[in-house]
Amino acid sequence: MKRTFIISVLTLALAMLCQSAFAYDYFVNGIYYRKVTHQDPSGGCGETTLIVVNNDYPNTYSGDIVVPATETVNGATYRVTYIGSEAFYGCSNLTSVTLPVNIVNIGYHAFAECPLLEVIDLPEGMVQINSNAFSSCPRLEYIFIHDTEPFFLWDDAFADINDQVHIVVPCNCIEAFEAAEEWQGIQLYDDCGHVGIGEANAVALGVYPNPASETLTIEAKGLVTLVDEMGRVMRTLFVDDKQTIDLQGLSSGFYFVKAGNEVKKILVK
């Protein structure tokens, strides 16, 4: 499997032609991009896509960043496929990054030194993660992986991350990941309780008080999600027996607490 991964990575690297020598080519809707043209099987130039990059030091991304699946520049529409090396490096005010399904590569130090970043959700179809992609993010707690088969990790891809980080793979996929050489020695968690993914396991779930106002106590074991009526995940946490969460910032209304195949409806006042 190691050889297959290496060949895939080399193929990916060779596919990138005619890159701009500039730090970035476009700045659109708050995001910096570099344009890259890939090699097609016949040896000519194939699809041109965009890589998310930074604007050089100091990096100015902040708040909640949503990376689009496509971006239109000068009348041409391109898919966004890579998060470049150091794209979000050192963004002290970056709180979240939403990635589109097109993303296949996370570059070296792409999310390093982001002190407010708590969760990274990696879309299905990933090809590789480079070294130290998430290093020195003290509040990073979850990295959600949606691929059911392992993809390539460069050495130290998960190096120097918070000891409390939960790297969560889809239900019943831990053995497949652990069998891959690059994934051995990495603590993984099964995603059986995550909303909408995999086959849920039976989990005893208790929530109180209900209605709730300031705090909510959850009794469960494993991954628990708090979801609003639109299906949006508002909180994600691992519970080992019992945990109380702060409801500050949630609007009044109905929410669902999910753990495995158990669901409890609660009212937040």
- pLDDT, average across residues 216-227: 87
Give the per-residue pLDDT at 162. 60
Kindly indicate the confidence band of residue 221, based on its pLDDT and cuts at 50, 70 and 90.
Answer: confident
pLDDT digits (tens, 9 = 90+) for 92-138: 999 889 999 999 999 999 999 999 998 888 999 999 999 999 999 98
* 239: pLDDT strictly greater than 60: yes
Return the CATH class of domain 206-268: mainly beta
Confidence of residue 13 (pLDDT cuts 50, 70, 90): very low
CATH number for the 2-190 domain, one of 3.40.50.360, 3.30.70.640, 3.80.10.10, 2.40.160.20? Answer: 3.80.10.10
In whole angstroms, give the CA distance from residue 70 to residue 156: 30
Contact 38, 67 (CB under 8 A): no
Q: According to CATH, where is 3.80.10.10 located in the chain?
A: 2-190
Helix (H, G, I), strand (E, B) or coil at 136: coil
Q: What residue ranges of the chain are covered by domains with CATH 2.60.40.3080?
A: 206-268
Does the pLDDT of residue 16 top 60, yes or no? no
φ and ψ at residue 253, rounded to 5 degrees? 150, -170
pLDDT digits (tens, 9 = 90+) for 164-204: 688 888 878 888 998 899 898 888 877 664 333 333 445 68
pLDDT of residue 21: 41
Q: With a cut of 50, say whether residue 253 has pLDDT above it.
A: yes
The dihedral built from the CA positions of residue 233, 133, 130 and 79, taken in this order, carries a sign that is: positive
Per-residue confidence (pLDDT) for residue 104, from 0 to 100: 96
pTM of the entire structure? Answer: 0.70
Express each pLDDT in 53-78 by its tens digit.
998 777 889 998 999 999 999 999 99
Distance (Å, rounded) from C-alpha 57 to C-alpha 91? Answer: 10
